[in-house]
Structure 1
Amino acid sequence: MDLMVRDGVISNELWDVVEPVLPTNVGRRGRPWNDHRTTLEGIIWRFRTGSPWRDLPAEFGPYQSVWQRHRLWSIDGTYEAMVAAVHEHAGLGHEDLEAILSIDSTSVRAHQHAAGARHDSVVTDAQEDTGGSFELHEFSDRARGAA
């Protein structure tokens, strides 16, 4: 049984397990859903590459639509239903399922702002009163004897 996602394409077997728990157009007002499989592959592509949503290749559809579906599925429990369906179908124990779904930290990118500590978390003697950069320049000028 090949339930793994390979090369950005969802296997037919995985799709057969996941598709029944996805929302349908029945009773839905407005435009019909874009193809769920293509959208899910776009979501997977985005998280696998770490790219911004706006860099999603056109073959997955408009990035706004893919992001909106991801947001909706996060809120309405669709992702939980997909995981439960895979769990039930595969007959895996909790630990086995976690091993399949675990994140390999060698491929996870930290956001650029995660590179260091907050500026106000490190306090030096010169920053003790206000912590502002203008005040630091003023303090260093006074220390050198400038007016």
Structure 2
Amino acid sequence: MPAGVRFDLTDAQWAVLGPLLPVGAGPGRRPVHLRRHLVDTARWRVRVGAPWRDVLERYGSWLCVSTHYKQRHAVECGINNSSDTAR
């Protein structure tokens, strides 16, 4: 991703926000996307009101970032997506 992209978080903003975000529950495979990158992607999408499929290529695969965002949102909001809770 090019440095200094107009609406992405600055280093100073990330220094404040980064430590406030949850970290992984334990050992596992290394994340494919950095948390800062995913935050910048979600911020861009919300700011312009675009659907996930219109996410800019510089943010990566729309499917990958949308899936990660939705999974993280479900975990943080305590939403269980299993079929057992649908009854």
Q: Which structure 2 residues correspond to residues 1-147 of structure 1 after superposition, within 5 A?
A: 7-20=6-19, 21-24=21-24, 26-29=26-29, 32-77=31-76
**TM-score (structure 2 length as normaliser):** 0.65
Q: Which amino acid aligns with 1:73?
A: R
- Separation in 2 of the partners of 1:33 and 1:24? 13
Aligned residues: CA RMSD: 2.5
Regions of 4+ moved over 6 Å: none
Partner of 1:93: none
Is the CA contact (8 Å cut-off) linking 1:42 and 1:56 kept in structure 2? Answer: yes
What is the distance in 1 between the residues matched to 2:67 and 2:10?
A: 24
Deviation at 1:18, TM superposition (A): 2.1
Task: Report the Cα distance in structure 2 between the residues aligned to 1:9 and 1:32, rounded to whole angstroms.
Answer: 20
Structure 2 Cα separation of the partners of residues 26 and 17 of structure 1 = 23
Percent identity between matched residues is: 24
Alpha-carbon contact 1:25-1:32 (below 8 Å) kept: no
The offset of 1:26, in angstroms, is 4.8
Q: Which has the larger radius of gyration?
A: 1
Name the TM-score, length of structure 1 as normaliser. 0.42
- Tell me how far 1:12 sits from its aligned partner: 1.8
One-letter code aligned to 2:59: F
Counterpart amino acid of 1:23?
Answer: V
Q: How many residues align?
A: 72
Q: Distance in 2 between matches of 1:25 and 1:35?
A: 16
Stretches of structure 1 that go unaligned for 5 or more consecutive residues are: 1-6, 79-147
Which has the higher relative contact order, 1 or 2, with Cα contacts under 8 A spaced 6 or more apart? 2
The SS at the match of 1:32 is: coil
Which blocks of at least 5 consecutive residues in structure 2 are unaligned?
1-5, 78-87
Letter in 2 for 1:19: G
